[in-house]
């Protein structure tokens, strides 16, 4: 038997899988998932109901699931260990909220910044976004310069409360 | 007439399809990021423009003209966005002895200056919102701040696409909003001229499609409603606008044709109006190009607007007379965007590992998608347009809903679920909305959400389990199938 | 009204789409081979019928009725083929207290007997081909062989789908052809009754779509031409039929409506005629069900025929009056089959590893395809229908051509190239064809065939080379890309 | 350098591949084939022309190639060895011309058959096909019985000239 902890949004599910059945949060579920091709399309069969489920494994145990016009991100924690939905980011770690181009950086390492001060500007698909300091503090780390292309979730700046 | 399409994405493919339908040879252009893009594979030829940033490729006028010269293209279609509203580009195309598929450069220059367009519309007898006809500075704003009716919009004369607009709610805010709008306008359009326009409350966005021969004949191809907007970006558009009276429609068409005739308008254009609560129309601007939302007009008129543009550009006269334009049924378009509603509609990127576009009766899909395509952050977020036709608005909505449910895009976040929520919302279905509808839109939790999430969790765990079990999984799967099978019998 | 769709493939999905558009709950049924088929995933529920052979599943009346009972379906739509023309099935459905979505059982029985249908048509005043009204045996054939006008067709009274038909060219052949036709009819339909019908030379196949309320009201929804046939199988269909005069059309519609009224026809039906060289119509038969080619009628009328069937079955009256039926433009459908033209059109099977369906203006695709689907030899070979609408026939042809070129089906041989050759052939484009067009069809070698084959050889060698080189290939590919790149700059 | 012999229909091409160029029948070709996904879709780039090429490897070195609405089967012979387009079938070997179900078998091993005699009937997608003897002879081998499902190309019957 294998146990998986699966997080979707705030909710966590406990999924137990054996060769002959599955339990979700302790409740037996009669269902069947069959791959239809090698790209992630499956049919999820439950009772008299067949549904397209598209499952796309992404980084860090996250699965994109498309079903009935909806898209869900499910984080699968390894058997026997709970997934940490929040990740390890600390307060003051500014990460890229979207992929894009750094069009302006207004700080350098060591600068003191005010709360709400604009640290840098990101651009993606013609949309610009200002990244602001969450609280007053000092720039401890700066990983990019203007012109850099960044992925969603990349750490850009570390702000720590000033330790005068 | 060999046609170069100076654009990318779905609109490039749309125009190339019309070229095929007319048997015209076609040339695509592309940036480095688009070397394998569908539009390059759809055209007869594809010419490299320059590096990925639009300024060095799709906005690079010398590169586009050079591509035309090298490929022997005789006409250039600009699509929408990019160089489509750039009068200098249109002029450069004509100076190079080529045909610009769109209005005359001076028309583009005029419509690009919203104050000038407003004057032209007023001169043609159209209802225009009150407000000074002159650009605004902080100093002028300070002088007049007390005489203005609030709320009021500060708008860039060079504006477009909903940018360079600020709302001032009271005299104290006015100067700051002028400064903010000027700054954004300068950054976005290289021109910081702004002007004042009263905010029309609970307005609907209604626009009229016109087609002119450049010699004073104007065809009016019905109206569209584009009130479903998020942050001034149109998201769902329909034709016709619901609930207009025959008198309103006659007024609207007459107004659009009048300003078109006054400008000696050539090619396709859109005359945009706001419809206020009391049922009165107010001219706002003219878009001198094909619109994103043109398919809904095509579906109700039976015309192919791009083919009409190409025919006119090839020197043919207008094919139709106004009385031959018949509107049939209703059409609604939804824009499928690479934006993640679960993350504040931030742009999303990724590789489209799985793709299934909808089909069947009454559905049209315009896209440049293919399985394996990478969606980057370099250009805009429009992935596809799904349009549905029905005998009436209710029928079109049901078909659109069916199509949105059929559409599967795996590997990149999209607004498909959000579109479904809008289409399923009772006020939308009742036609009870204005341009602020989405500001307050708060859809109820979807039926069956809990069960679906549980099933998704189970499915993800099963796939993770099989991945881990590796070679074992086929065997186990077969066991699973047998069990399910047995239970069904 | 919960609807069970007693069919599979594209027509099952088509009907399920109409159920969604009307908000009706739906039930699919499936055989063992179809456990994962798209129609099972599209319906709200899916019920297993039986093993793969149709006789044990889709033709298994008790199993279908049991599926309806178990799922609580209130109505059954038979689609086309399978049980759709089986009067016993229609009767069993009604006897079970369910609604059969189609004509009354006695109408199906009558139309299933071609001699009876001919008598009914003649009684209603329709022009019917001369010939005895009685079944033919070898003995009768021998007696009358010298009085018959040759060539003549021997046709099964229970016939359909082009089976059970033999051509006799002279008195000597007649008896043998009667024997052959009886044998084939017995095997195919379990009924060896045959009759004689004169062969109409250079005939066009023209059919009229009717919709009846079962109480004597008949709507006539225009005609279709289905003369492009291979071995009596329709391959390309269009609406309207080109080149008919207003008088011909009026005659045709009147005739179809007349026989419909005479039968008190209920639901959808098709009255088929041959149009001879002199412009005269001859009734041949009535098809008491939805036709494969119904989308072309939907495109020109703007109606959704399946929705109309479902509405009538739910007890609603006919929504329209004849004068409200307006025909607009022209539509053409092509049938994409899993048949290999390079191997004598033998059925082909395989796994659809790659799929790209066409889109854009004026195109509709009906299919039950998906990437990863396995095409088996168990049922018929129809993979998809591509339909194109245009303002006129020429415009529809160009769009259909565009769509056929866009359609990519990898992993199984299809007739796509053959369809393209027909659509590109000048006689087809000129409307200069009859039902024998494909018998003599010999398309010229495609332009650029030699270059394409050389490129295909090169591409296959490159893929084989990379497969062999394994991990090396990315590197080499990059070298390749750099070279190509450099040469373009 | 690698050499491939590629047969399409009756025509054979000699393709030489090195790291920097290709020759087809001795003529240098400037072209470039880039995969677009993992299912076989490629872009074939030649001069100013980009084309979708779908390439699907099948059994025995055969590649299905889809391009511009056409479908071509290309048989790639291993480097340095010519492909044999005809295969090794002998006259009198009856193979399944289509996949399908054997609905009737009219012979048994040892039977003498006439030319044109119907040996068996195959059915696929509602279409029946008679398989006939190509010449008079004796049935030496019979691999299937009625009710069998056969793949295209499967050997069904061997007929040899009677050796009285």
Q: What is the DSSP string of C391-421?
A: SSHHHHHHHHHHHHHH-EEESS--SHHHHHH
Measured between CA atoms, the residue of chain A closest to residue C34 is A50
- CATH 3.40.50.2000 applies to domain B3-101: no
Scan residues 125-144 of D and list those with Cβ closer than 8 Å to C. 125-127, 129
Whether D49 sits inside 8 A of B44 (CB atoms) is yes
Cα(C182)–Cα(C154) distance, rounded to whole angstroms?
9
Last residue of a domain, one of A47, A78, A109: A78
Whether D51 sits inside 8 A of B41 (CB atoms) is yes
Say if residue A48 is in the same domain as residue A113.
Answer: no
Distance from CA of B309 to the nearest CA of D (A): 25
Say if residue D67 is in the same domain as residue D133.
Answer: no
Could you tell me the pLDDT band of residue C276, with boundaries at 50, 70 and 90?
very high
Whether C416 sits inside 8 A of D71 (CB atoms) is yes
D39 touches chain A (CB under 8 A): yes
- Render pLDDT for D33-90 as a digit per residue (tens, 0 to 9): 999 999 999 999 999 999 999 999 988 889 999 998 899 999 998 654 554 444 445 6
Say if residue A70 is in the same domain as residue A101.
Answer: no
Task: Report pLDDT for A84.
Answer: 46
Tell me, what CATH number does D60's domain have? 3.30.700.30
**For residue A95, what is the enclosing H or E element?**
strand A93-95
Domain membership of residue D85 (yes or no) is: no
Domain membership of residue D84 (yes or no) is: no
| Candidates D48, D53, D68, partner chain B, best to mutate (most B CBs within 10 A) | D48
Count helices and strands (H / E) in chain A. Answer: 0, 17
| Mean local confidence (pLDDT), C356-375 | 97
pLDDT at residue B424 is higher than 50: yes
| Mean local confidence (pLDDT), B283-309 | 98
The total domain count for chain D is 2
Q: Are strands C382-390 and C363-367 parallel, antiparallel or unpaired?
A: antiparallel
D43 touches chain B (CB under 8 A): yes
Whether B356 sits inside 8 A of C362 (CB atoms) is no
Is omega for the bond preceding B126 within 30 degrees of 0, making it cis?
Answer: no
- Render pLDDT for B130-176 as a digit per residue (tens, 0 to 9): 988 889 988 998 898 888 889 999 999 988 767 789 999 999 999 99
Task: Report pLDDT for B287.
Answer: 97
Whether B359 sits inside 8 A of C367 (CB atoms) is yes
Scan residues 194-233 of C and list those with Cβ closer than 8 Å to B. none
* CB pairs < 8 Å spanning B and C: 93
With contact defined as 3+ CB pairs under 8 Å, the chains touching D are A, B, C
- Render pLDDT for C315-336 as a digit per residue (tens, 0 to 9): 999 999 999 999 999 999 999 9
Nearest 5°: phi and psi at D9? 60, -130
Task: Report pLDDT for A89.
Answer: 53
| Candidates D37, D50, D54, D68, partner chain B, best to mutate (most B CBs within 10 A) | D50
Last residue of a domain, one of A78, A107, A128: A78
Task: Report pLDDT for B488.
Answer: 40
Task: Report pLDDT for A79.
Answer: 52
Distance from CA of A162 to the nearest CA of B (A): 30
Answer whether C119's CB lies under 8 Å from C153's CB. no
With contact defined as 3+ CB pairs under 8 Å, the chains touching C are A, B, D
* CB pairs < 8 Å spanning A and B: 179
- Render pLDDT for C83-121 as a digit per residue (tens, 0 to 9): 999 999 999 999 999 999 999 999 999 999 999 999 999
Whether D63 sits inside 8 A of C377 (CB atoms) is no
CATH assignment of C204-439?
3.30.470.20
Nearest to D52 among B41, B44, B45 (CB): B41
Task: Report pLDDT for B484.
Answer: 41
pLDDT at residue B487 is higher than 50: no
- Render pLDDT for B339-384 as a digit per residue (tens, 0 to 9): 999 889 999 999 999 999 999 999 999 999 999 999 999 999 999 9
Listed in order, strand segments (DSSP E) in C39-193 are 45-50, 75-77, 99-100, 152-160, 163-168
Last residue of a domain, one of D78, D107, D129: D78
Domain membership of residue A59 (yes or no) is: yes
Domain membership of residue D86 (yes or no) is: no
Q: How many of the other CB atoms lie within 10 Å of CB of C199? A: 15
Q: Are strands D93-95 and D11-17 parallel, antiparallel or unpaired?
A: unpaired
Q: Which residues in chain A show pLDDT less than 70?
A: 78-90, 163-164
Answer whether C28's CB lies under 8 Å from C5's CB. yes
Measuring CA to CA, which residue among C332, C311, C333 is closest to residue C320? C311
| Mean local confidence (pLDDT), B229-235 | 94
Whole-model pTM?
A: 0.91
* CB pairs < 8 Å spanning A and D: 4
- Render pLDDT for B328-339 as a digit per residue (tens, 0 to 9): 999 999 999 999
Catalytic residues of B: 289
Task: Report pLDDT for D134.
Answer: 85
Task: Report pLDDT for B339.
Answer: 96
Distance from CA of A110 to the nearest CA of B (A): 29
Answer whether B42's CB lies under 8 Å from B69's CB. no
| Mean local confidence (pLDDT), B415-427 | 96
Answer whether B360's CB lies under 8 Å from C366's CB. yes
pLDDT at residue B486 is higher than 70: no
Tell me, what CATH number does A137's domain have? 2.40.50.100
Distance from CA of B449 to the nearest CA of D (A): 33
Residue numbers in B near D44 (CB within 8 A): none
A60 touches chain B (CB under 8 A): no
Domain membership of residue A86 (yes or no) is: no
Whether B398 sits inside 8 A of C20 (CB atoms) is yes
| Mean local confidence (pLDDT), C51-67 | 97
Domain membership of residue A73 (yes or no) is: yes
- Render pLDDT for C156-189 as a digit per residue (tens, 0 to 9): 998 876 778 999 999 999 999 999 999 988 888 8
Mean pLDDT of chain D: 86
Task: Report pLDDT for A97.
Answer: 85
Structure ipTM: 0.89
Question: From the candidates C14, C266, C289, C399, which is the catalytic residue?
Answer: C289
B17 touches chain C (CB under 8 A): yes
| Mean local confidence (pLDDT), B191-212 | 95
3-state secondary structure chain B: CCEEECCCHHHHHHHHHHHHHHCCCEEEEEEHHHCCCHHHHHCCEEEEEECCCHHHCCCCHHHHHHHHHHHCCCEEECCCCCCCCCHHHHHHHHHCCCEECCCCHHHHHHHHCHHHHHHHHHHCCCCECCCCCCCECHHHHHHHCCCCCCCEEEEEEEEECCEEEEEECCHHHHHHHHHHHHHHHHHHHCCCCEEEEECCCCCEEEEEEEEEECCCCEEEEEEEEEEEEECCEEEEEEECCCCCCHHHHHHHHHHHHHHHHHCCCEEEEEEEEEECCCCCEEEEEEECCCCCCHHHHHHHHCCCHHHHHHHHHCCCCCCCCHHHCCCCCEEEEEEEECEEHHHCCEECCEECCEEECCCCCCEEEEECCCCCCEECCCCCCEEEEEEEEECCHHHHHHHHHHHHHHCEEECCCCCHHHHHHHHHCHHHHHCCCCCCHHHHCCCCCCCCHHHHHHHHHHHHHHHHHHHHHHHHHHHHHHHHHHHHHHHHC
| Mean local confidence (pLDDT), C388-409 | 97
Nearest to B17 among C22, C361, C395 (CB): C361
Distance from CA of B366 to the nearest CA of C (A): 5
Task: Report pLDDT for C481.
Answer: 45
Residue numbers in B near A104 (CB within 8 A): none
Domain membership of residue A126 (yes or no) is: yes
Mean pLDDT of chain B: 93
Nearest to C41 among A35, A39, A52 (CB): A52
Task: Report pLDDT for C203.
Answer: 97
A39 touches chain D (CB under 8 A): yes
The region, left, alpha or beta by phi > 0 then psi within -120 to 50, assigned to residue C312 is alpha
Nearest to A29 among B408, B456, B458 (CB): B458
Could you tell me the pLDDT band of residue B483, with boundaries at 50, 70 and 90?
very low
A36 touches chain D (CB under 8 A): no
Distance from CA of A74 to the nearest CA of B (A): 6
A43 touches chain B (CB under 8 A): no
Domain membership of residue D87 (yes or no) is: no
Task: Report pLDDT for D84.
Answer: 46
Could you tell me the pLDDT band of residue C472, with boundaries at 50, 70 and 90?
very low
Task: Report pLDDT for B445.
Answer: 83
Could you tell me the pLDDT band of residue C308, with boundaries at 50, 70 and 90?
very high
Task: Report pLDDT for A20.
Answer: 77
| Mean local confidence (pLDDT), B255-262 | 98
A50 touches chain C (CB under 8 A): yes
Distance from CA of D46 to the nearest CA of B (A): 10
A38 touches chain D (CB under 8 A): yes
| Mean local confidence (pLDDT), C3-26 | 98
Here the tokens at position C363 are 């195109």
Here the tokens at position C262 are 């005479």
Domain housing D42: 2-78
- Render pLDDT for A9-24 as a digit per residue (tens, 0 to 9): 889 999 999 887 899 9
CATH classification number, C130-198, choose in 3.30.300.130, 3.30.565.10, 3.30.1490.20, 3.30.365.10: 3.30.1490.20
Q: Collapsing DSSP states into helix, strand and coil, what is residue A46?
A: strand
Find the radius of gyration of the CA atoms of chain B. 24
Measuring CA to CA, which residue among B212, B199, B217, B222 is closest to residue B284? B199
pLDDT at residue C487 is higher than 60: no
Task: Report pLDDT for B51.
Answer: 97
Nearest to D97 among C343, C378, C408 (CB): C343
């Amino acid at each position: 038997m294998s146990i998986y902890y699966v997080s979707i949004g705030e909710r966590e599910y406990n999924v137990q899988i054996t060769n002959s059945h599955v339990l979700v949060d302790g409740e037996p579920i009669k269902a069947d998932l069959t791959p239809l091709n090698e790209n992630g399309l499956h049919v999820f069969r439950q009772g008299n109901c067949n549904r397209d489920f598209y499952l796309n494994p992404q980084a860090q145990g996250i699965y994109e699931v498309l079903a009935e016009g909806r898209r869900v991100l499910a984080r699968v924690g390894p058997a026997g260990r709970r997934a940490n939905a929040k990740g390890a980011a600390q307060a003051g770690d500014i990460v890229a909220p979207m992929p894009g181009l750094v069009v302006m950086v207004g700080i350098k390492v060591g600068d003191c910044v005010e709360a709400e001060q604009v640290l840098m500007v990101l651009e993606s698909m013609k949309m610009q976004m200002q990244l602001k300091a969450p609280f007053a503090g000092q720039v401890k780390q700066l990983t990019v310069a203007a012109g850099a292309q960044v992925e969603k979730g990349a750490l850009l700046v570390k702000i720590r409360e000033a330790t005068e | 007439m060999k046609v170069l399409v100076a654009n990318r994405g779905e609109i490039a493919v749309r125009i190339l399809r019309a070229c095929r339908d007319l048997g015209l040879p076609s040339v695509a252009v592309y940036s480095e990021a688009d070397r394998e893009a569908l539009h390059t594979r759809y055209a007869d030829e594809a010419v490299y423009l320059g590096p990925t940033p639009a300024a060095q490729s799709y906005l690079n006028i010398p590169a586009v003209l050079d591509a035309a010269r090298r490929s022997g293209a005789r006409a250039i279609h600009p699509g929408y966005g990019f160089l489509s509203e750039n009068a200098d580009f249109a002029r450069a195309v004509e100076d190079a002895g080529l045909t610009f598929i769109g209005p005359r450069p001076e028309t583009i220059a005029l419509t690009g200056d919203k104050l000038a367009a407003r004057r032209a519309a007023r001169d043609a007898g159209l209802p225009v919102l009150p407000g000074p006809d002159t650009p605004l500075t902080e100093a002028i704003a300070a002088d007049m701040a007390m005489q203005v009716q609030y709320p009021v919009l500060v708008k860039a004369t060079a504006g477009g696409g909903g940018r360079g607009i600020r709302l001032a709610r009271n005299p104290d805010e006015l100067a700051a909003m002028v400064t903010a709008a000027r700054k954004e306008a300068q950054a976005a359009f290289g021109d910081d001229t702004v002007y004042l326009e009263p905010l029309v409350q609970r307005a609907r966005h209604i626009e009229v499609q016109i087609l002119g021969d450049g010699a004073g004949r104007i065809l009016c191809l019905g109206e569209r409603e584009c009130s479903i907007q998020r942050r001034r970006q149109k998201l769902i558009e329909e034709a016709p606008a619901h609930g207009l009276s025959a008198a309103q429609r006659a007024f609207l068409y007459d107004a659009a044709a009048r300003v078109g005739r006054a400008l000696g308008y050539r090619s396709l254009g859109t005359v945009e109006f706001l419809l206020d609560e009391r049922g009165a129309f107010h001219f706002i601007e003219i878009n001198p190009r094909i619109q994103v939302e043109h398919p809904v007009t095509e579906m109700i008129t039976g015309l192919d607007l791009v083919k009409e543009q190409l025919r006119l550009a090839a020197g043919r006269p207008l094919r139709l007379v106004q009385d031959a334009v018949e509107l049939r049924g209703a059409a609604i378009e939804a824009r499928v965007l690479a934006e993640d509603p679960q993350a504040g509609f931030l742009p999303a990127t990724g590789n489209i590992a799985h793709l299934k576009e909808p089909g069947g009766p009454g559905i049209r899909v315009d896209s440049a998608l293919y399985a394996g395509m990478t969606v980057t952050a370099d250009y805009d977020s429009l992935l596809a347009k799904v349009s549905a036709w029905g005998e009436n608005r209710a029928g079109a909505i049901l078909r659109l809903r069916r199509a949105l449910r059929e559409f599967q895009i795996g590997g990149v976040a999209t607004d498909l679920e959000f579109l479904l929520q809008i289409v399923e919302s009772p006020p939308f279905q009742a036609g009870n909305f204005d341009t602020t509808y989405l500001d307050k839109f708060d859809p109820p939790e979807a039926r069956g959400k809990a069960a679906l999430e549980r099933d998704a969790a189970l499915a993800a765990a099963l796939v993770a389990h099989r991945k881990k079990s590796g070679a074992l999984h086929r065997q186990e799967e077969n066991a699973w199938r047998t069990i399910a099978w047995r239970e069904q019998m």
